[in-house]
Structure 1
Amino acid sequence: MWKLFVADDEPKIRKGIEKILDWSEFNIEIVGEAEDGEIALELIKKKKPDIILLDINMPFLNGLALLQKLRDIDNKSIIIIISGYDDFSYAQKALKFNVFDYILKPVNKKDLEETIVKAINELNAIEKENNYLEWIKGQLSENKDMLQKTFFSEWFSNKLTDQQVLKEIEFFNIEFGSDVGIIVTKLVEKLNVKIMEEKWNPELLEFAIANLLKDKFEELEPKFIFNDDKRNIILISKISNVPKWIKEITHIEEEITKYLKCNVLIEQSNVNNGVLGIKNEYIKIISSLNEKKKSSPMVLLTIKYIEDNYYSNDLNINNISETLEVTSSYLSKILKKETGQSFIDYLTNIRIKKAMYIMEDPTIKIYDVAELVGYSNQHYFCRAFKKVVGISPTEYKRRK
């Protein structure tokens, strides 16, 4: 039932309102009454009525002052002013408080009934709207993951402006913080012909990879895993430990190989220049992956081996040639032909690239970076870094 509260300093008016209508016919219950504004305020807080019949002129706290107090506590009741002719100027002032309607004294049945019916219609409309909003919130909650994935996919497909992106991020209440990581996984069909013929189709494999990523990074929040329109699998997440984040890419490949028996290309990057920088890193990674994809299966497997084992300080071309069952001279030749880089140059560039990511963490020491990317000698690492980047690791960190 709807709840009605009556505030009027005249007992005769309060009693008359109680008797003038059969309130049950309107699905209304009178839950309280008060003879002055102060008592009314306390009871309204407690009873939370849907409709308030309010005398504009009461002792201690008059109707206008009570309206101000009700606004301050964000009261949602429909307020109907009861006013005599002499108080009409007060009733006009009350309009600024968004009162619903007013009734002149003496209150007659017809005027009261018409006003109450209007109030009930308004309450029904508000209830319908609130129910709809609750339904929308429920739908949003149930479909939030799908909506977020759609948002990221549209963003990376150039379907949203920067302003729209920022608005959507605010809408979804996404808080990445200062450090964001992005991983892009590409399933390369020419490296997985056998498994696709025997067991999987590409869509099923991509779904399985996405689930594996979800399990692997279960503790990371917030995180988003989705497919772009080129069927790359994207993971975006807040990161707190950069060196650990860099290492995770190797563990991911190991698990994909172990559980799904397939080969993928994976690249990652860090973003520390705001959320809009995420897309720029995505574009760079996609460009790099697409370039790699042009390579022959042999070179792709070589690249994967280097990227999976770059942190090993004894990694050499012989390790890879033995694994791939070809001669090291043939492997060196074909790698140089397709990438334009020798094995050493390719390995060095990968190591320095990883080092640059790791040094996004300002607290990490240079000798720790060197060890993490496969250099047992810090001096040798610094020479290699300066050759690739043009400045020393110390200077690079200082500029960050």
Structure 2
Amino acid sequence: MHRMIVADDEPKIRRGLISLHWDEIGVEIVAEASNGKEALELAIEQQPDLMLVDINMPILNGLDLIREIKSLLPECMLVIVSGYDEFSYAKEAFKLNVFDYILKPVNRNELMNTVKRAVDVLDEKRREGTIVQWAEAQVGSGRSELKRQFVSHWLLGRLHQTKMEEEYRVFSMDQYGGGYLLLLRFLEFEKKDAPAFDTGLLSFAVENIAEEIAKSVAECVLVFPLEQGEYGLLLSATDPSVVDTLGQDLKSALRQYLGRHCVVVHQQLGGDAQDLRRAYISLSDVLKQDLELTPLVLFAKSYLEEHYSNHSLSLQEVADQIKVSPAYLSRMIKKETGLTFSDLLTKARIDESLRLMKNPAMRILEISDAAGYSSQHYFSAAFKKLMGVSPNTYRTNRMGDGTWQR
């Protein structure tokens, strides 16, 4: 059994962490601490293999505790717990070589899986008996900075072909074959009251928020920075509807937690490094076309695509977000896209309805409501005008043989 100490200053959370079935993954809790100083004393006494540490504790904070533990017990695996408002602390913790971190509120399954990965690394290290093998196990966990750098450098053309092929195998990149590459680009236009972040902290926040969301739909996830304000996300997920939803969830989360709006595009991958590179080039072209719009129109388009399910979404609401008049925004949208605001909104809603139709359990009325229509009659009329047939006819014709076509 591997020995673990739990350190958290909130008794209720600490008790909850201790109550999990740690024995199922080969872990026993040997001590608990309510502050950093107590945790350090217990670590010296108990010599644990693992520690689960709240990053924000009294007397001796989590960062100082981590520094002390790494100095005294360099092979102890540290998993930290932090909130969205503690990214600066978490960023420093990663510099100190902690194994992983968990966001509050803690998801029990995620926590158990994370500690199990740490246990696997410890077991591998014990079997091989070398620091080299231990480091390779960490690289294989998918959170390695080296792996992020490899993918980023390859996609940006900074890696020689021979080196690329070698590292592609070393990092087991074939696990993403058949999965998806997503590109995320922040919009330059932001409201004046949007929170300010330094570049490093923003990058850290984006990567970790994206990874937390993506873990719910894909076993293998890798998030990495590209050009300034641009990030990549590799997923082993193969269901296009799942990836569509993930893109929307990601945009919403970044807007909610960071006050930033972004564009997200994605493409399915083949099975080798060249396919990955080609997908990146293709998606970059798509982003370039979007970003040829003025920031004002791009912001409006992005806002519309995030809020189309709101039955009452209007030109006035979007204009209020950008602090311009509805008439001016309407003119700019028409000038740059060739479409009216109403056209763009209808397209977003019908696109969503097409995605939802892939679920045979959803009725047309439910699809209509989820796509932003307050009336099935209005939905059917809009659908027929754009697609040429009614929703029911479209669904029957396209899905009758078990296949799906757009």
Q: TM-score, normalised by structure 1?
A: 0.52
Question: Does 2:202 align with 1:200?
Answer: no
Residue in structure 1 matched with residue 289 of structure 2 by the alignment: 291
Q: Which one-letter code corresponds to 1:225 in the other structure? A: V
Matched-pair contact (CA < 8 Å) for 2:261–2:299: no
For the Cα contact (< 8 Å) 1:183–1:266, is it kept in 2? no
Q: 1:174 to 1:310 in 2, by over 3 A?
A: same
| Aligned equivalent of 2:308 | 310
Larger Rg: 1
Does the residue aligned with 1:221 lie in a helix, a strand or coil? Answer: coil
- Check the 8 A contact 2:152/2:224 in 1, yes or no: yes
d(CA) in 2 for partners of 1:353, 1:240: 20
- Counterpart residue type for residue 298 of structure 2: L
- Give the distance between the partners of 2:220 and 2:194, measured in 1 at CA: 33
Unaligned runs of 5+ in 2: 1-126
2:130 is the alignment partner of 1:141: no
1:335, distance to aligned residue in structure 2 (A): 1.2
Which residue matches 1:180?
Answer: 179
For the 8 Å contact 2:176–2:234, the answer to whether it is kept is no
**2: distance between equivalents of 1:170 and 1:363?**
40
Q: CA deviation at 1:333?
A: 0.4
Aligned to 1:268: 265
Cα deviation, residue 236, structure 1 = 1.7
Aligned-residue offset at 1:142: 3.1
Kindly provide the amino acid, as one letter, of the partner of residue 197 in structure 2.
W
Distance 1:398 1:297, change over 3 A: closer
Q: Mark the CA change 1:164 to 1:271 in structure 2 (over 3 Å): closer, same or farther.
A: farther
SS at match of 1:225: strand
TM-score (norm 2): 0.51
Deviates more, 1:328-337 or 1:263-272: 263-272
Which residue of structure 1 aligns with residue 123 of structure 2? Answer: none
Q: Provide the C-alpha distance between the structure 2 equivalents of 1:257 and 1:381, rounded to a whole number of angstroms.
A: 30
Aligned 8 A contact 2:174 2:271 in 1: no
Q: Cα deviation per residue 1:304-339 (whole Å; 9 max; x = unaligned)?
A: 211111233543323323444433222110111233
| Cα RMSD (Å) | 4.2
Aligned length: 263
Equivalent position SS for 1:308: helix
**Post-superposition offset of 1:235:** 1.4
Question: 1:335 aligns to what?
Answer: 333
State the 1:176 CA deviation. Answer: 4.9
In 2: Cα distance, 1:371 partner to 1:168 partner: 48
Give, as a single letter, the amino acid of the residue that structure 1 aligns with 2:154: W
1:210 is aligned to 2:212:
no
Residue 384 (str. 1) matches residue 386 (str. 2): yes
Contact 1:184–1:267 under 8 Å retained in 2: yes
**Which amino acid is 1:235 matched to?**
L
Comparing 365-374 and 290-299, the one that deviates more: 365-374
Closer/same/farther in 2, CA of residues 244 and 176 from structure 1, 3 Å limit: same
More displaced stretch, 248-257 vs 225-234: 248-257
Aligned mates of 1:385, 1:358 — CA distance in 2 = 15
Query: Does the 8 A contact of 2:180 with 2:268 survive in 1?
Result: yes
**Are the structure 2 counterparts of residues 365 and 386 from structure 1 closer, same or farther at C-alpha, using a change threshold of 3 Å?**
farther
Question: In structure 1, what residue type is equivalent to 2:283?
Answer: I
Structure 1 counterpart of 2:172, one-letter code: N
Distance in structure 2 (CA, Å) of the matches to 1:382 and 1:166: 49
Listed one character per residue, the Cα deviations across residues 74-132 of structure 1 (whole Å, up to 9, x for unaligned) are xxxxxxxxxxxxxxxxxxxxxxxxxxxxxxxxxxxxxxxxxxxxxxxxxxxxxxxxx99
Letter in 1 for 2:133: K
Q: Structure 2 counterpart of 1:381, which letter? A: F
Are the aligned partners of 2:346 and 2:382 in contact in 1 as well (CA < 8 Å)? no
The Cα of 1:232 is off from its aligned counterpart by 1.0
Structure 2 distance, partners of 1:280, 1:357, is: 26
Compute the displacement of 1:281 (Å): 4.4
Give the aligned residue type for 1:307. Answer: E
Q: Distance in 2 between matches of 1:246 and 1:225?
A: 17
Report sequence identity in percent: 18
Looking at structure 2, the residues matched to 283 and 356 of structure 1 have their Cα atoms a distance apart, in angstroms, of: 27
* Inter-CA distance 271–386: structure 2 relative to 1 (3 Å threshold): farther
SS in 2 for 1:149: helix
- 1:181-204 CA deviation, whole Å, 9 max, x = no partner? 4432223344266657xx422332
Counterparts in 2 of 1:1-400, with a 5 A limit?
Answer: 135-144=131-140, 145-158=144-157, 169-174=168-173, 176=175, 180-191=179-190, 195=194, 199-219=196-216, 220-239=218-237, 242-261=240-259, 263-271=260-268, 278-351=276-349, 354=352, 367=364, 372-374=370-372, 376=376, 377-378=379-380, 380-385=382-387, 394-395=397-398, 397-399=403-405
AA in 1 matched with 2:309: Y
Q: Aligned to 1:326, what secondary structure does the other structure show? A: coil
8 A Cα contact 1:269 1:357, kept in partner: no
Residue 141 (structure 1) shift = 2.5
Deviations 1:3-26 (A, max 9, x none): xxxxxxxxxxxxxxxxxxxxxxxx
Q: How far is 1:224 from its partner?
A: 0.6
Shift of 1:222: 0.2
